[in-house]
C-alpha cells in the first residue's frame, strides 16, 4: 500500500467533490483522493502530486479510473474529475491546508 500523505489523509470523512450524476454514493466513509491523470504530469506506475487530485467517493472513483463503466463520454468524465479537483483545492485553501 502507498504511503499516506497529509493530503491523502485529508480526504477521509469528506464529501465527494466529483459528484457524478446518478453515480455518486454521497458516502463520506468511502471518500479518497483520486489523482487526476494527464500526460506530462504522470506516467506508467507514477501518480501525480497529491495536489492534482479530487476527493471522490468509491463509486465516482471507480468510474473515473475505468473500473466501472457508465454511458458518458470520456471527456465529460475528465471534466467532472477536474471540477472535483478545483472544488477540493478550494476547500483546502479556505481551511489553510494549502496556500495560494
Please list the active-site residues: 35
Q: Could you identify the residue written with the cell 483545492?
A: 89
Distance from C-alpha of 3 to C-alpha of 63, rounded to nearest angstrom:
23
Strand partners, 56: 32
CB 81 within 8 A of CB 36: yes
Strand, helix or coil at 53? strand
Distance from C-alpha of 94 to C-alpha of 28, rounded to nearest angstrom:
19
Amino acid at each position: 500500500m502507498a504511503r499516506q500523505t497529509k493530503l491523502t489523509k485529508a480526504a477521509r470523512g469528506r464529501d465527494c467533490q466529483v459528484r457524478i450524476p446518478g453515480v455518486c454514493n454521497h458516502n463520506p466513509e468511502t471518500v479518497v483522493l483520486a489523482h487526476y491523470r494527464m500526460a506530462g504530469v504522470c506516467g506508467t506506475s507514477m501518480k501525480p502530486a497529491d495536489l492534482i487530485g479530487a476527493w471522490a467517493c468509491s463509486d465516482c472513483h471507480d468510474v473515473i479510473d475505468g473500473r466501472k463503466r457508465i454511458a458518458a463520454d470520456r471527456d465529460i468524465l475528465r471534466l467532472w474529475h477536474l471540477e472535483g479537483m478545483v472544488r477540493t483545492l478550494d476547500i483546502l485553501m479556505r481551511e489553510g491546508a494549502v496556500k495560494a
